[in-house]
Amino acid sequence: MATGAINVVRGSRSSVEELLQIYDHSESVALAVDSPELFNRIAEAFSSKVVMKFVILLWGDKSSLASEGKIPVFNYREILDLGRESRKSAPDFNDARQQYVHEAINSDDIATLVYTSGTTGNPKGVMLTHRNLLHQIKNLWDVVPAEVGDRFLSMLPPWHAYERACEYFIFTYGIEQVYTTVRNLKDDLRHYQPNYIISVPLVYETLYSGIQKQISTSSAARKFIALTFIRISLAYMEFKRIYEGTYLTRNQKQPSYLASVYDWLWARIVAAILWPLHMLGKKLVYSKIHSAIGISKAGISGGGSLPPHVDKFFEAIGVKVQNGYGLTETSPVIAARRPNCNVLGSVGPPIRHTEFKVVESETGEVLLPGSTGIVKVRGPQVMKGYYKNPGATEQVLDEDGWLNTGDIGWIAPHHSTGRSRRCGGVVVLEGRAKDTIVLSTGENVEPVELEEAAMRSSLIQQIVVVGQDQRRLGAIIVPNKDEVLLAAKKLSIVDVNASDLSKDKMTSLLYEELRKWTSGCSFQIGPILIVDEPFTIDSGFMTPTMKIRRDRVVAQYKEQIENLYK
């Protein structure tokens, strides 16, 4: 990027077809790969369809490349050596730089293209400029006040917008970063004792589950002690949030001064009673957890919603987790909880120079704080647009610079008194307005492909894929009961004279049917919920054009969906 060139990034696990489409669409001229295995997997398709001026191999022996000799190949060491030779001929840094910088770089020039994930159609190339990326570097310190000597641990893919912004910020401030994997996470946390960890909600869920498992397998006495202290600490933190004014509420009416004083006094008294027990739990129980996972300053969570029970648990044991919010289209961070005002249940206030508004989905009317609508954002980190796709750009980015995030949420009202007096302006997300599902792993899934594939089955009348902020996808299915019963008889699941089918047998049959029809899709469906009543226009679950209102269906079956994942 220092030369003014544009880098185009994608994960090495992507399909050959997707990588080829991105390379071709972005008009790339060279390729950087992490291993000979990756290059050999894509070489045949690439060499016959696109032009590659050269290849850079980060690791491995370049002599094992399938096209070695046909295309110039440089390993990472050779690239560094070429740079050193170039510097020798021009001792002055600025003179050396002039050899490879052909034009002055403008802050609004494109620095990188990051293609959005998707299972239907082709990914869209998000154009991020130098200004976009620099905004993140300059303003993330408000969220993460790291110091030289601090250590970060991350397991995100280095091409991901979230990871890249964090890396640029970390290295600009001279801070150490440790890269880990799912397999090595537990050992690396114990060994490196990071001050901060950067990850998606799934990692915090995994840590939570591991801690709970450790407690449940302890002796009866140890288990009782640990769970008792955790319950006490959860209660203590609840009252602490009330008297500190960080107890989130969407109530637009400000509480009276007298009621606020009473509320504060009661919370302060109860918290004071619980505090000694909380501190004892910290010494006897939580200190052991801290020694195992480190995270002495904060865990930074992004890429999805942090489950409330996980959020509250880590707060109770003294591990601060700061949830943030962003999109690839916003470089990515646009809001985040602050160290000194970590409002649980929210994604925090906007970061510097960033504006939010919530609008009514149909009219575009700006809504009052506390009202739910479509979240829009504006700021210097918002993308330039989608590469060679003005139509898609116009759909999400208006002429005034407001980006439609596609998320449903609200902004907390400002109060000068009461338990939420410090929550004003924080952003709260409730789901996705558009169809994209974001798993807790940070993966984006477009459900339409799965739904269309499933609908090829005669056994399925209607289907809505779910899974927002979960580890895996699920589905709500309206079965074609006659066809299901007929299929069950053919498979001898029930007697030929049977007139009905049990819910368990129907679920099993439909699950196998889903596997059959969606096996070629990028993602698979896990648990399913069967509902009897079809979605109709009259019931409000379909539009006049016969499209299922996904958000209404998900809201209607919210509890049942949550039960699917328990």
CA angle 526, 531, 535 (to 5 degrees): 110
pLDDT at position 185, please? 93
CATH number (3.30.450.40, 3.40.50.12780, 3.40.50.10470, 3.40.50.300) of 130-350+379-400+412-431 reads 3.40.50.12780
Q: Report the predicted TM-score, pTM, of the whole model to 2 decimal places.
A: 0.80
Report the alpha-carbon distance of residue 21 to residue 16 in Å, rounded.
8
Burial class of residue 371 in the structure, from the number of CB atoms within 10 Å of its CB (0-12 exposed, 13-18 middle, 19+ buried):
middle
Percent of the chain with pLDDT over 90: 66
CATH architecture, domain defined by 447-564: 2-Layer Sandwich (3.30)
Q: What is the DSSP code (8-state) at residue 344?
A: T
The two tokens of residue 132 are 């976009």
Q: Which of 11, 44, 328 is nearest to 161 (CA)?
A: 328
Check: CB of residue 325 under 8 Å from CB of residue 350: no
pLDDT at position 98, please? 64
Q: Which of 183, 261, 228, 214 is nearest to 417 (CA)?
A: 261
All residue ranges of the chain with pLDDT < 70 are 67-69, 90-102, 117-122, 496-498, 543-546
Domain residue ranges in the chain: 7-105, 130-350+379-400+412-431, 447-564
pLDDT at position 234, please? 98
pLDDT at position 120, please? 40
